[in-house]
Amino acid sequence: MKAMTANWTAPTAHGPIRWTQHIPGSKSITNRAYILAALAAYPSAIHGALHSRDTALMADALRAMGTGIRDTEGVVYVDPAPLHGTKVECGLAGTVMRFVPPVAALASGPVLFDGDAQARTRPMSTILDALRALGVSITGDTLPFTVESSGIPVGGTVEIDASASSQFVSGLLLAAPRFAKGITVRHVGAKLPSLPHIEMTVAMLRQAGITVDESENQWQVHPGPIQGRTWVVEPDLSNATPFLAAAAVTGGSVTVRNWPLDTTQPGDAIRLILERMGCQVDLITAASGPGYDLQVTGPKPGKLNGVNLDMSDIGELTPTVAALAALASEPSILSGIAHLRGHETDRLAALSTEINRLGGHCQELPDGLLITPAPLHGGVWHSYADHRMATAGAIIGLVVEGVEVEDIQTTSKTLPGFETMWADMVHG
């Protein structure tokens, strides 16, 4: 049983925030690099890897199957080795429960997967049925389940409905080069969400020397050796968005170091969103080293514009944008995000409940949220063991006195030390 912890009183800003923030590495890139390095033909090094609960769970899963992983002076070295049967703990990490089962199909013995109680309700049948269609033996349809294969799976073509999560596609693609005939994934069903994450997967496969053919709703990964290489992980742009939101809601200016000019991370979309909401957004020459920093300057407090956004490709930004919308001067509609009902929690229900609990007006739509600004008051903001729900509460707490975020430690899933970073920003 989880120990009870005191609620975290979100610090309130009593003027415009002016701050420069360093953001640790991308969780999405880190965990993809771990998978590709573990399946590579020779060792790899990962520079700038994120160290968080999700990435630790990924590293531990691969170690448990036999991969050598060591962290030396900030560089993670990955030594591939024959994979064997074991037990994998997924926690609440979607990338572990969706990316690692295809890897486990390459192991010499059964691999049992389990996770947090909340993870046992997350949809898994899509990838498990796909592995069954590819000749892999699976026992169970949700956590806990067991993956077992006799020899290297043949692979081939598989049709899946990945409308609940793009992770189902990425999970199959990442391990596909090691299947005898590779894997062709054909998406059949409603609109595929979070397409940039699949583009990230394809780009990283190609960087590792793998041939990938793409057409609409279809990806063909050819078999072949995955190259060991040096991976350099970009800052996590989705983790940067709450800090940029701080500038937007306080009329301040926040700079995030080393913003990549060319990236597949969905978090990059925050630049356009903040501009549409009335912020000034500038890429400026980096204060130290090559490249650029991103600087966001907010409008006068209370003057944020409402927005009408299709967020189907950028669903992970929804909690940040919903918090901004609750503090805007006009209504906002966030659509294309029905799939968020299957994330760490039902994010649409959670956001609606918590915004309304503080006096706001948030209505669930079939595929999104209608947020009509209303005067907010203090109270407890529940996180639902969801890191992005916790950071959304922190954003609102910047301008609403007395917001207490329940279980702020859930942010360690992707950004350990968030509450200290946040307090440092607010208090200067």
Q: Is 228 annotated as a binding residue?
A: no
Residue type, 93: A
DSSP classification of residue 317: G
The band of 1, judged by pLDDT with boundaries at 50, 70 and 90, is: very low
**Phi and psi at residue 371, to the nearest 5°:** -115, 115
Where along the chain do its domains lie?
8-25+234-427, 27-232
DSSP classification of residue 2: P
Q: Which residue has the tokens 């630790």?
A: 56
Q: Which residue has the tokens 């793009």?
A: 166
CB 399 within 8 A of CB 304: no
Global pTM value? 0.92
The band of 268, judged by pLDDT with boundaries at 50, 70 and 90, is: very high
CA distances from 184 to 134, 156, 180, 244 (A): 10, 6, 12, 39
Q: How far apart are CA 197 and CA 204, in angstroms?
A: 11
Structure confidence by residue, pLDDT tens digits, 358-386: 999 999 999 999 999 999 999 999 999 99
What's the average model confidence in pLDDT over 217-229?
98
The band of 221, judged by pLDDT with boundaries at 50, 70 and 90, is: very high
Residues with catalytic annotation? 316
Name the CATH topology of 27-232: UDP-n-acetylglucosamine1-carboxyvinyl-transferase; Chain (3.65.10)
Q: How far apart are CA 420 and CA 428, in angstroms?
A: 12
Q: Is 343 annotated as a binding residue?
A: yes
| Measured CA angle at 320 (ends 314, 322), to 5 deg | 95
DSSP β-ladder status, 111-114 and 145-148 = antiparallel
Q: Is 52 annotated as a binding residue?
A: no
Q: How far apart are CA 276 and CA 380, in angstroms?
A: 30
Q: Among 3.40.350.10, 3.65.10.10, 3.30.70.1070, 2.40.50.140, name the CATH number for the domain at 8-25+234-427.
A: 3.65.10.10
CA distances from 291 to 9, 177, 287 (A): 36, 33, 9
CB 365 within 8 A of CB 336: no
The band of 2, judged by pLDDT with boundaries at 50, 70 and 90, is: very low
Dihedral of alpha carbons 314, 318, 323, 328, sign = positive
Q: Is 413 annotated as a binding residue?
A: yes
Q: How far apart are CA 394 and CA 405, in angstroms?
A: 7
CB 99 within 8 A of CB 167: yes
What's the average model confidence in pLDDT over 383-390?
95
Same fold yes or no, 8-25+234-427 and 27-232: yes
**Six-digit token pair at 137?**
């033996």
Residue type, 278: G
What's the average model confidence in pLDDT over 219-244?
98
Beta bridge partners of 335: 310
CA distances from 315 to 32, 93, 160, 194 (A): 19, 16, 20, 7
